[in-house]
Amino acid sequence: MMERLVVDSVVHWAVEYRVDGFRFDLMGHLPLQCMQHCRAALDSLTLVEHGVDGLRVLMYGEGWEFGEIANGQRGIMSVQQNLAGTGIGSFNDRVRDATIGGSPFCDPRIQGFATGLLLRPWPVDAGVGQGDADCQRHAIHVYGDKIRLSLAASLWDFRLAEDCDGNEGAFACDVHGGGVAYAAEPDEIINYVSAHDNETLF
């Protein structure tokens, strides 16, 4: 019944109010089937019959996987790794973490590619656990690879010519343990570095 409410509401807003995009907060907590039914319902709308080209209506959200839905505990949910090929977009937090470092889940002082890692490190006595210069040098190269993958639309089947560890022709979905590239089409990804859930870039 809840799924029907979600689907009917999306269609109502698209047809009656000409809403041309839907952002779902904590989308990962909605079953994938619900989101796919929303997408299918929108796709069925036509200019002739409904006054709306449903294929042009955007659907995206937060595909985070945590808490009670982690590891598929509640079935197949609308999390990042399940969205490829659905036409539903999600925010890519992995590229944010690579670019600015830190995250809502670790020390926010940890540096990333664009915030001083290796080039302007914290003093040793600051208590920021980023490792020695060699560790930071490797980390900044890993972050660089992740940023390159995001510039290729985070497409899971993109092949990176060579990663910083010398691996050639690896599928993007497998580079450095995966996670950064999980989309089948460019409209299924929102790569960002600064948003309301974390500090600004600088």
Catalytic residue ranges: 25, 62
Tokens found for residue 175: 């580079």
**Beta partners for residue 60, in sequence order:** 23, 89
Q: Which helix (H) or strand (E) holds 10?
A: helix 2-17
Contacts of 10 by beta carbon, 8 Å cutoff, 6+ apart: 22, 38, 41, 42
- CA distances 81 to 123, 180, 189, Å, are 38, 10, 11
Query: DSSP strand E in the chain: where?
Result: 21-24, 58-61, 89-92, 159-162, 168-171, 189-191
**Beta partners for residue 77, in sequence order:** 31
CA–CA distance, 133 with 146 (Å, rounded to integer):
20
Give the closest residue to 35 by CA, choosing from 85, 95, 69, 70. Answer: 85
Identity of the residue numbered 36: Q
Q: Return the residue matching tokens 């779902």.
A: 24
